[in-house]
């Protein structure tokens, strides 16, 4: 799998994407890893550990389709905030499949 250039270094993505957008509403979502999906589309394959308010911890694999506009128009901070916001939206709704994000529970 090739790694296309992102607005932020690949090795920094897990830490950056683990930051809460709203500390007053903690979601306890920690990104374990981010890898590239298959070409020709740019996809981020995100493995994250989640601690729901009730129940045991969970591990999920999210496949996030990155829009070309996100790569061309967004700076590093805006790119990270956009991806994190989409992760939080998925978590809040627990929608297994959004148009640009698909989720599979691993554990």
Which pLDDT score is estimated for 95? 60
Asked whether residue 38 is assigned to any structural domain, the reply reads yes
Which range has highest mean pLDDT (19-28, 39-48, 62-71, 76-85)? 76-85
Least confident of 3-12, 36-45, 63-72, 86-95: 36-45
CA 40 to chain centre: 19
Determine the average pLDDT of the residues in 58-76: 86
The answer to whether residue 4 is domain-embedded is no
What is the number of domains present in the chain?
A: 1
Residue 2: inside a domain: no
Q: Is the pLDDT of residue 70 over 80?
A: no
Q: What is the pTM of this model?
A: 0.85
Average pLDDT, the chain: 85
- Return all residues near 66 (Cβ < 8 A) that are at least 6 apart: 42, 43, 44, 83
């Amino acid at each position: 799998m090739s790694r296309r250039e992102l607005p932020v270094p690949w090795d920094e993505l897990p830490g950056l994407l683990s930051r809460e957008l709203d500390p007053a509403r903690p979601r306890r979502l920690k990104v374990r890893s981010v890898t590239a999906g298959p070409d020709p589309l740019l996809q981020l394959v995100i493995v994250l550990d989640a601690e729901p308010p009730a129940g045991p911890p969970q591990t999920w694999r999210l496949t996030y389709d990155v829009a070309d506009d996100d790569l061309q128009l967004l700076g590093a901070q805006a790119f990270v905030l956009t991806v994190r916001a989409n992760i939080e939206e998925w978590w809040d709704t627990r929608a297994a499949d959004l148009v640009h994000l698909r989720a599979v529970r691993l554990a």
